Structures are given as C-alpha cells and as structure tokens.
Amino acid sequence: MAKKWMAALAALMLLTGCLSAFAEEAEALPDTLTVAVTTPMTGNFFTALWGNASSDVDVRILLHGCNLVEWDGANGMFTANPQTVESLAVTQDAATGDRTYTLVLRPGLRYSDGSPITAWDYAFSVLLTMAPEMAAIGGNVRPPLYLAGCEQYLSGEAQALAGVRVIAEDQLAFTVRGEYLPYFYELGLLDCVPYPIAVIAPGVRVTDDGQGVYLTNADPDAEAPAFTAELLAATILDETNGYRTHPTVVSGPYTLASYSDGVAVFDRNPCSALAPKIEHLVFRSLSQEELIPALERGEVGLLNKVSDMAVIQAGQQLASEHPDAFTFVNYPRTGLSMLSFNADHEAVADKRVRQAIALLIDRDAFAAQTVGGYGQRVDGFYGLGQWMFRLLSGTVPPPVQAQETEDAATQSAYETALAEWAELSLESLPTYERDPQAAAALLEEAGWTPDEATGLRVRDGETLSLRLAYPTGSLAAPALEALLPDMLAEGGISLTLEAVPMAELLPQYYHMAASDYDLFFMATNFDLLYDPSNSFVTDEAGNHIWAAAGLADEALYEAAVAMRATEPGDLLSYCKAWLRFEAEFEDALPAIPLYSNVYFDFHTAWLQDYQIASNVSWSTAIPAAWFGEPAAAEPAEENDGLVFDD
C-alpha cells in the first residue's frame, strides 16, 4: 500500500476551519441547534432490532444513555462508564473459566420523568432484547450467547438467566462463559442501557431468587402471564405512541419532544448526568443540493457526514468567504459502501457468480465518480478510520515503544516486535481488479453460457438477469446508474436498478422481509465493538450464516471468531487475525466492498467545543458542545481535497 495518499489523509485530518459568527445581528445566544444529514430517519429509535440506519442510531444515542460502559478512543478499548458506574470488580471461576463482572451503580441515576434507574432496569434491558416475544413482533433478536445460562434459559431448561444477577438496587453482576473468553473488546460485552419496565411492560417485573434473573407478573395472584407478544406489540409498535418510534421515558441527554414528517425535535433532559448545554435540537434530512444553502441561510446549524464532492467544495468556499460565520472539520469514516448480495436467490448464491461480478466492476472508477479525491476504493470489510486499517496502512506507527537501553536482549525484543509489525500488510489481501475475461471463465464454470441472440448469459433456459436496490436519494445513485449496468453487461449479465425508500429497504436487506432483489447498495459505519461474528446467525442445522446476505460460510465465521478471541491489548495478534478475516471475506464475498471516504461536518461558528473527530458521531459530541460568541477568525484555508493514488 503506497504512502502518498496516507500522508495527504493525515494532513487533511489536521485541517479545521475557523470560528465565525452564527448570526451577525444576534442579540442573544441561540438555544436550538438544527442538525441535517442526508440519510432519513426510519423511526427505529429503540434498539437495533428493527434496523440500524445511521440516523436512527444517532437518535438512540441522544435518547438512551446511562450505559454501563463507554468507549475510550485514546486507548482503543471499553471502560466502565464513570457517569454510571461507581465501581467494577472482576472475578474468575478457576474450574469453568467463567468471568463475573460486579458493578455498583452511582447514586441518583434517573429517567427523564424523575423515576430512579436501578439494577433491575439493566436486567430488564437484557431480558427484553433477547426475548422470543420480541422476535414474535418482528424484532431481529440476537441472544447474548456469551452470558452464562443463556441457552438453558431460552430453551426453557432453566427458569432464570444465570449470567445476570441483581444483588441490590444499585448492584448487578454479569457472568461471561469461559469458552467465550478471551474476548478482545472484553468490557464491550457489558454494553447495556436501561429501559423503563413500567412503560414497555406494565404489569411485569424482574425477579432474582438467587439463580439469576427472569420476568414474572407484578401481580402474584394473576394467572395469565403479563409478558406477552401482544403486550409488547401494543407498547412498542403502536404507530403514534409506541416506544419504538416515540419513546417517552428515557435515560439519555435529550428527550423526544416530537417526531413527524421526517423531523425529530429534542429537549434537554434535566435528569441526565451528562447535563447537555444546548437546550433544544432539531434533526432532519436534506438532499445534497439543499445542505449548503440551508446552512448559509441559517436554517441549519450543523451538517453532519457530508461526503458529496460538490457539497464539500461549496462548504469549503462558504467557510473561506465568510470566516466569521462558518467552519468545518473532517475525519475518516469508520465504515464503507458496498454491494451486498441476497444469497437466498439461486444465481448469486453461487460464489463463482459473486466473484465474477466483482471482477466486472471497476471499483476505482466507481469511487472516483462517487467521492472523488475524498475517498478511495477498499478491498475488504473495513473503513479508512478503523484503527486496524490505520496501523497496517502506515497512517500511524506500530505500537512498539522504543527502548533507550544498551541491554542486548531488550533491544533484540524491540527489533523483533518491529519486524513482526513490518510483516503485516494490506497488500497481502486478495483484490478483484477488473478482468472481464476472468469473470467470463467463472461464469462458464458455473454453467452460464452466452446466448447468441442477446449476448446475455443463460442456464437451463434462464437468463442471468439481476435486480439491484439502492436507497432513494443515495449519493452513489448517479455512479450506480451510469456505470454498473454497462460493466455487468460486458460479462453478459443484465442489471436493473431501482431506488427504494430506506424504510422499505432495510427490512429486506436484513432478511426481515421477503425481497425480489439480488443485490443491495448499502453503506455501513461499524460499531465501536467491531465483532463481525455478531453478523452471523445460526440456522436449525447449526450452519453459521452471514445474516445480511443469508450466506452460510464456516471459514468466514471461524476467522471472525479467531479475531474476537484475541487477548485484550494484544494488538499484533488481533491485526493478524483481522487480515485473515479480511482475506476470507474477499474469498466468500457476502458483499463487494466499494469505497470508504472522509466525512466533513460544516457548522456555525457559534457552536463551540464540537469535538466530532474524537467522538462516535454528532450525537455523542453534542452534549459537551455549547453556543458562544466566536472569536475573530482568519479565512478557512481552501482545500481541493485528497488525492488517493498509488
């Protein structure tokens, strides 16, 4: 991997705009920030069980807080959340290897209605999100199999979930099975926010008789179980008051004041331990063309995750011409855009067909037309901002501390460590350079032969005609329409494209609804707890299936497990396992990675301490931000963007 564009990326990340005035004639500080993105919300504001669109994730971060753990970006690890957890003790069973984490909550934690948050709320959160009743109402439930007793509880063999204990109102414990350890992001397994049982499951309570937690009736004299799919459908899925789209009692820094017509309005949660400084937020989506004009007119105060070349350049020009009004910051994306296959369809269930399609696509041309100099093609399931990529691409030096000693053994160990890191390279990963002849050979091998009349490939009387869905309003739509059909036609494949609203597309992509599409153009930003083994589900026969593609692949699953099973802190072993996983991904191809890029956030200079580069997203950065009169500023430096080349 060449270093030239890496140096350009590093330089660009240091570039920030200058502070300027939000409104030249403003007499008082504003109390409302309007945030705009290009990805519409779908209304999944409660858990990821109904989809994980990036805009919905941001809303969930605003509404649901008091997580037991938080991400320490400086050290690349999870730690106990000091806002929520007073103390954490870890013990291990010598016989089983099970590890127990006992947490004491800080006093005074409250929901937005003033009611207390206790250990019972966290236990309810775990039991709720793994419940078969949630699956029965359409939730894409992924049981926490790493917790002790999870399988026995779900099968009915055990009444209680042994892996979660409520010891006191302010104390709970999680037990992780020994066979699931080591786990690289160890404390990330305690990722848990509280949910109000009184709102979501009235008439239900959590009980712990000493063997673990379970759900039962709040009224001991009631005969019928209160916790049912019918109850959850009423409290969660109701279109006007359901907790999925209109959560009322919440634990995050903001409350949801309203959500309608694609616009969400938030009020500061006075009970939040984070004590956000901006009183009101408005969150909405705009088209690419509307972004900069809306910012310039003062209708929007923050544009998040801008990636369109023309919009970036227009925003840079605006900041340069009006340094007293606007500024910007940029940061590499921790995700990618890709073509995901639907392996439920016979044609693309064949790996040879998927690989042939990859060989027909010019990923460099696609990336150039979509994000230009602000991104590059990727040859794996990674993003430019991930720490593994940055280490192995040379953007940051290897984590080996130089030794100032004359001791020969110490110096030798240092040099050995450097050499081990030097052996790891992204250049070892397989790539699919455009090669129509190689694609043709794979299609022939799969039984697809050219029809003399049409030039399209046929097999058993069936034409190789594929359908691709992409989100309505996607930045990549012009490149998709202009490039992909012709590229695939050169291999004898007919491709039809269709724009689909995100709310309709996500259930099909996640295999939560039937779909007529063979491929999906999708974008994803990875969770901080990067564990691709979580992307698999297990069918009745025990096969491990990449859920988004419906593709069974044991080698890919084993590579994902090997990556997660690295000792915490062992970065070298993790990166070795990561390279193995990426190689298996490129062989199996549940999706064709296309490109990753640099994001730009443009905002009013009245917005102070907006530290987006060191946060997960705007929603995690905004509680610490505030409005203040900007200092005098010089014009923002003009920038023509990155040049990604070899």
Is the preceding peptide bond at 202 cis, omega within 30 degrees of 0?
A: no
Average pLDDT (72-93) is 92
Q: Which long-range contacts (CB under 8 A, 24 or more apart) does 484-490 make?
A: 484/361, 484/366, 487/360, 487/361, 487/362, 487/434, 488/357, 488/360, 488/361, 489/455, 490/360, 490/436
What is the C-alpha separation between 269 and 355, in angstroms, rounded?
50
Q: Using the 8-state DSSP alphabet, how is residue 177 labeled?
A: -
Residues with Cβ within 8 Å of 547's Cβ and at least 6 positions away in sequence, in order, are 140, 510, 511, 535, 536, 537
- Cα 238 vs. chain centroid, distance in angstroms? 26
Q: Which of 342, 286, 381 is nearest to 507 (CA)?
A: 342
Instruction: Write out the E strands in 437-585.
Output: 449-450, 457-459, 462-463, 465-471, 494-500, 519-525, 536-538, 544-546, 551-552
Q: Model confidence at 72, in pLDDT bands (50, 70, 90)?
A: confident
Residues with Cβ within 8 Å of 144's Cβ and at least 6 positions away in sequence, in order, are 126, 130, 150, 163, 189
The rounded percent of the chain whose pLDDT value lies above 90 is 84
Residues with Cβ within 8 Å of 456's Cβ and at least 6 positions away in sequence, in order, are 450, 463, 464, 465, 492, 493, 494
Given phi > 0 = left and psi -120 to 50 = alpha, else beta, which region is 15?
A: beta
Encoded tokens for 601: 């956030």
Q: Using the 8-state DSSP alphabet, how is residue 159 labeled?
A: S
Residue 450 burial (CB count, 10 A): 16
User: Quick check: helix, strand or coil at residue 244?
Assistant: coil
Q: Which of 193, 33, 77, 153 is nearest to 601 (CA)?
A: 33
What is the C-alpha separation between 525 and 507, in angstroms, rounded?
18
User: Quick check: helix, strand or coil at residue 129?
Assistant: helix
List, in sequence order, the alpha helices (H) in 54-116.
54-63
Residue 367 burial (CB count, 10 A): 23
Are the C-beta atoms of 191 and 80 separated by less than 8 Å?
no
Average pLDDT value over all residues in the chain: 91
Are the C-beta atoms of 192 and 125 separated by less than 8 Å?
yes
**Residues 48-67: tens digit of each pLDDT:** 999 888 999 999 999 999 99
Residues with Cβ within 8 Å of 189's Cβ and at least 6 positions away in sequence, in order, are 144, 146, 174, 176, 183
Average pLDDT (622-646) is 61
Q: Which of 92-96, 332-336, 627-631 has the lowest mean pLDDT?
A: 627-631
pLDDT for the residue numbered 34: 98
Encoded tokens for 641: 């963007």
**Residues 419-452: tens digit of each pLDDT:** 999 999 999 999 999 999 999 999 999 999 999 9
What is the C-alpha separation between 439 and 446, in angstroms, rounded?
11
The answer to whether residue 640 scores a pLDDT higher than 50 is no
Are the C-beta atoms of 472 and 349 separated by less than 8 Å?
no
**Residues 101-120: tens digit of each pLDDT:** 999 999 999 999 999 999 99
3-state secondary structure 390-408: HHHCCCCCCCCCCCCCCCH
Q: Using the 8-state DSSP alphabet, how is residue 110 labeled?
A: B
What is the C-alpha separation between 637 and 329, in angstroms, rounded?
12
Residues with Cβ within 8 Å of 368's Cβ and at least 6 positions away in sequence, in order, are none
User: Quick check: helix, strand or coil at residue 449?
Assistant: strand
| Distance from the first to the final alpha carbon of the chain | 8
**Residue 49 carries which side chain, given as an amino acid letter?**
L
pLDDT for the residue numbered 51: 86
**Residues 468-489: tens digit of each pLDDT:** 999 999 999 999 999 999 999 9
> Quick check: pTM over 0.85?
yes
Residue 646 burial (CB count, 10 A): 7
What is the C-alpha separation between 219 and 225, in angstroms, rounded?
10
Sign of CA dihedral 582, 583, 585, 589: positive
* Domains with residue ranges and CATH for the chain: 4-36+250-334+601-627 (3.40.190.10), 54-236 (3.90.76.10), 335-400+409-596 (3.10.105.10)
pLDDT for the residue numbered 400: 86
**Residues 144-161: tens digit of each pLDDT:** 999 999 999 999 999 999
Q: Using the 8-state DSSP alphabet, how is residue 46 labeled?
A: S
Average pLDDT (291-307) is 97
Question: CA–CA distance from 17 to each of 24, 231, 286, 289, 320 (Å)?
Answer: 18, 51, 23, 22, 8
What is the C-alpha separation between 555 and 269, in angstroms, rounded?
47
pLDDT for the residue numbered 23: 41
What is the C-alpha separation between 58 and 615, in angstroms, rounded?
12
Q: Model confidence at 645, in pLDDT bands (50, 70, 90)?
A: very low
How would you class 526 by CB atoms within 10 Å of its CB: exposed for 0-12, middle for 13-18, buried for 19 or more?
A: middle
pLDDT for the residue numbered 335: 95
